[in-house]
A and B are shown apart, each in its own frame.
Chain A
Amino acid sequence: MTVDQTQASPAPAAQSAQQKVWDAPTRLVHWLFVFCVAFSWWSVENKQMEWHVWSGLTLLGLLVFRIYWGFAGPETARFTQFVKGPGAVAGYLGKLLKPNYRAAFGHNPLGALSVVAILLALITQVTLGLFATDTDYVTPGPLNHLVDGDTADDLTDLHEDFFNILLALIGLHIAAIVFYLVAKRTNLIGPMFTGKRGAENVEGPASGIAPVPLWRFLIGVVLAVGVVFLVTR
């Protein structure tokens, strides 16, 4: 049964169908990013450095998985599906402001820039954190011993400063979501929880993304855990 019977409107069945846009791993990784960034912030402000390091290492694993998933995941998770050139971004901007706008299947070309920017910022921030240290060397980053003290101090300062860039990108991301909700009447938040959205006036196949075999997901988990293990060893 693909028809959403809870929908009150008497629209034809084909139009009240649900389009699957986000797979479970992509959604889970997204919300764990949210949780870990917030928790990393909270833990460092409250001097819970052990938790801060583990939160960062969790982010490292999540990033490894998400990059792998950008090649091995379903259509909407793949970089080749959503990372587009400036022409496509400009074309999307033109479409965005027209009344016959149709929601993109997965990330739109403009949002893709935000995805790439946030992923790069997270990679930068987590990498800096690996080499950073707390002032008393009780809980330094797991790779701090690979750099000398002055370098470690510089990287620690950068780790603190760069968080502002990450915050700015997150602010922009949330602002864009509010824009779509208010100006385009498009709820992007619900699908990031359920994976599905109403299939009216959207691009992409009606049924949405195809399932991905479990073994491909498991390879990603092994990769993620493996990298974290190597870093902490």
Chain B
Amino acid sequence: MAIPYEFAYEKPATLDLAIKLLGEHGKNARLLAGGTDLANQMKQGFRVPQLLIDIKGIHELEVIRMVANELHIGALVTFNDIRSSRLIREKANILHEAAGMVASTGVRNRATMVGNICSAVACMDSATPLLVHESVVHTLSANGEKKYPIQDWFIDNRKTAIQDDEIVTHVSIPIPEEKYAGAYQKMMRYSGEDLSQSNVSVLMLSDKQFRVAFGSVGPIPKRSPKIEKLLHSEGISKETIDKAKAMIETVIAPITDVRATKEYRMHMTKVMFERALNTAMERYKQPRVISY
């Protein structure tokens, strides 16, 4: 089916031109990278941009590299680019693991991580890995660069802190200097296309230091300082894990929808939290950051 209305299309060759176009058209324009979410939204009438600005001609946005101890992932990096990047596999295994669970190969060949956090649908896969890594979203506009810590990025389901004249250039992911290991858990009915009903990321930085984030169980993904504090002050034991699982009831607010009931999501998130925690601890014991 064609998109049910007419609109204009531009493919600027440079970032400067893209910013200029975005500055001129603001709200009426929409940036296009993979388009896997945008095309659907336009077909369904949820978004009706009058201009699509295709950024795939801006090659500097394809970057995957280390800058000091930060991993930079550009706006054009697709989930399959993430899957095939050794660097990301070594430095941010949670993200690498999550990327492999996004939809299907044919979607992952197009869909970008930055597009995922810009669409900001509550069930997105890349948010919790970025949250536990305390990542930063970098934007550019005619007024210059801006940095959004990822915990301030998500405002509501499908709503982020980005301004109409801004383009996300990349996300920077601080890589801990100390030893660390992470794990991602996603609940879905079957692989290949399914959206997550709940997802959990755990990053372990020491025996007592954990970062925990929950996704798809509320309008925005979030970390839980409360659970992190509990794990820190009491250390890992069966009792602490049970306490943390009980605490999840006060941290997340899942809804009932076509994919799962809120009760099921609540129950499974506790189970997945424990699994992610155990997997992270198991991986932490390995001699080095291993690949999965």
A binds B: no
